[in-house]
């Protein structure tokens, strides 16, 4: 699964980006490799 982390009018710190990616990796068990996850902070 491909995870995209972006901020709306803010810069997302690496620590927060890594946390979001780790949490989204838990969905790998449920979803297939063709799935995309977009996490947007605002």
Q: How confident is the model at residue 10 (pLDDT cuts 50, 70, 90)?
A: very high
Q: Convert the pLDDT of each residue in 14-41 to its tens digit.
A: 999 999 999 998 888 888 778 888 999 9
pLDDT at 30: 85
pLDDT at 31: 81
Region 2-20 average pLDDT? 94
Question: Do the Cβ atoms of 6 and 40 come closer than 8 Å?
Answer: yes
pLDDT at 5: 95
β-strand partners of 40: 6
Residue spans per domain, the chain: 2-41
Question: Cα torsion at 11, 17, 19, 21 (round to 10°)?
Answer: 150
């Amino acid at each position: 699964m491909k995870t995209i982390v972006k901020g709306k009018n803010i810069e997302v710190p690496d620590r927060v980006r890594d946390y979001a990616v780790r949490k989204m990796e838990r969905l790998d068990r449920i979803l297939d490799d063709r799935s995309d996850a977009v996490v947007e902070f605002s």
